[in-house]
Amino acid sequence: MQINADQLSHIRVISEWHDFENIKIEWNRLLKQSDADNIFLTWEWINCWRNSRKSLIKPLIIVIEQAGEIVGIAPFYIQQYQLAHLLSYNALRFAGDQAIGSEYSNFIVDRDNSTVIKARLWRHLLSPEVKTLWDFIWFTNIAAWSEGGKTLLQSLTEVKSLHYNQRLVEFSQVPLEQFRTGILPKLSKSLRTNIRQTSRRLDKLGTWQTTINDPDSGIPQQLDKLFSLHNQHWSHAGSSGSFQRRPELVAFYRLFVPLALNKGWLRLFSLESNNEIQAMQLGYVYNNDFLALQEGYNPKFLPGSGQVLRYSAFSYCRQEKLSCYDFLGEYSDHKRRWLAEKKLGVNLFIWQSKALNLPFYIKKIWPTGRYLKPCSCK
């Protein structure tokens, strides 16, 4: 049924997490009907994110209802920023956007009325009850090429009182329809050679195998191994890994991965040689796409083992008849070698008209640089 903005009967703002907890079923029902259905927008993902955070998070979730049924959700939270240590701001950020690898941010709305409802959500940010709570919005990792991304951006253009700058960001996806007979023949000669030679060397070392969601090993133990391999990998490269730098990421994985296993989303690949795990790759399957999140390998073991494991992961995806192997953010030469296509998304910096925001009219300022930063004060 097509509706217009006047028919959206009731809008409320959720500012406490216990109210968020009460709409779990309605949240996921609406997500399935939306044009932006992805794992990063599930109630479970956002709930695990907020429970893994050490600091207090203040939600600001706008909910639109029609005839007692939720038809639109804009899930934000409030974070304080400072500009050049002089001006203080209340920023709206998208729920789940920090520390855990979330991508593809969007509003959750009924697909049949997507642009209308998304525009109404944008407009409500300027309502008397909400506009005093925020100064600017930092909205990241929008899949601008997708249906949901297009309707989100189109709806924003319809709200003239919201001013914004946008910046392109890259994503990397491998469409799998072209590899129904196998991906190996499509790869470059050097990559094919590397995979074949490494496989033969593994044979010479003894018994080896690749497994997925090993039922004989507990999830906590497998996660510990993934964290260790990931940290070893980056330490060998002269850096520190994500799990070492971000304790909250570890906490999130410990919460979400067991849940993902129970939901049937988890795909945890391992390469074992002589009963010792030497490489791991963790991802999720959602809406028939594989989403690659984290990986690690033993840098002291056989070079090329990670490539063999990735090839095995591609093979599993083909066996499942999945549509896409999604590398997610950034496009690199490594991903190109695995036949990834570059997809262009956007980040949005949005502000409303007020004296405090005059610097944003004068110069493009992003909350990722040296001037505009999250406030460390309470």
Instruction: Indicate the DSSP class of residue 150.
Output: H
In this structure, the answer to whether residues 109 and 147 fall within a common structural domain is: yes
For residue 16, the enclosing domain spans 5-169+345-374
Query: Are 172 and 299 contacting, i.e. CB atoms less than 8 angstroms apart?
Result: no
- The answer on 199 and 266 residing in a single domain is yes
Residue 80 parent element (H or E): strand 69-83
- How crowded is residue 35: how many other Cβ atoms within 10 Å of its Cβ? 21
Residue 294, domain member (yes or no): yes
The answer as to whether 331 is a domain residue is no
In a domain, 61, yes or no: yes
How far is Cα 343 from Cα 329, in angstroms, rounded to an integer? Answer: 9
Q: What stretches of 153-207 adopt beta strand conformation (E)?
A: 162-175
Same-domain status, 10 and 153 = yes
Radius of gyration of the chain (CA): 22
Strand-pairing partners, residue 91, are: 79, 136
Residue 333 lies in a domain: no
User: What stretch of H or E contains 298?
Assistant: none
What would the two tokens of residue 152 be?
């989100």
Terminal Cα distance for the chain, rounded: 46
Contact yes or no for 325/315 (Cβ under 8 A): no
181: domain CATH number is: 3.40.630.30
Read off the DSSP letter of residue 52: H
- Same domain as 162, residue 279: no
Does the predicted model carry a pTM greater than 0.85? yes
260 and 349 fall within a common domain: no
Residue 172 has a pLDDT of 97
Same structural domain for residues 222 and 162?
no
All residues at 6 or more sequence positions from 3 whose CB lies less than 8 Å from its CB, including other chains: 66, 71, 113, 116, 117
The answer as to whether 226 is a domain residue is yes
Structural domain contains residue 328 = no
User: Could you give the C-alpha distances from 280 to 143, 218, 317, in angstroms and in order?
Assistant: 27, 15, 16
Phi, psi of 58, rounded to the nearest 5 degrees: -100, 110
What's residue 370's pLDDT? Answer: 85
H and E: helices and strands count for the chain: 13, 14
In a domain, 338, yes or no: no
| Beta pairing partners, 64 | 11, 72
Distance of CA 19 to the CA centre of its chain: 24
How far apart (Å, rounded) are the C-alpha atoms in residues 90 and 87? 10
pLDDT for 378 equals 47
Q: Tell me the two tokens of residue 248.
A: 């909250």
Rounded Cα gap, residues 47 and 61, in angstroms: 13
- Please tell me what DSSP assigns to residue 215: T
Task: Clarify whether residues 154 and 186 are in a common domain.
Answer: no
Residue linked to tokens 């497998």: 222
**pLDDT < 70 stretches in the chain:** 1-8, 215-216, 377-378
**In degrees to the nearest 10, what's the CA dihedral of 46, 47, 52, 57?**
80
Q: Is residue 335 part of a domain?
A: no
Neighbours of 52 (CB within 10 A): 19
Instruction: Catalogue the E-assigned strands of 203-323.
Output: 208-212, 266-273, 276-286, 289-297
Give dist(CA 303, CA 198) in Å, integer.
7
In this structure, the answer to whether residues 138 and 91 fall within a common structural domain is yes
**Residues 182, 249: one domain?**
yes
Query: The dihedral of CA 100, 101, 105, 111: what is its sign?
Result: negative
Apex CA 74: angle with CA 72 and CA 80, to 5°? 165
Written as six digits, the tokens of 212 are 């997925």
Q: Which of 322, 318, 290, 312 has its CA nearest to residue 211?
A: 312
Same domain, 12 and 136: yes
The pLDDT value given to residue 1: 55
> What is the domain count for the chain?
2
What distance in Å separates the CA atoms of residue 214 and residue 222, rounded to the nearest whole number? 9
Q: Is 235 helix (H, G, I), strand (E, B) or coil?
A: helix
DSSP class of 241: -
Same domain, 10 and 125: yes
CA atoms of 343 and 144, how far apart (whole Å): 8
pLDDT of residue 215: 67
Q: Are residues 181 and 126 in the same domain?
A: no
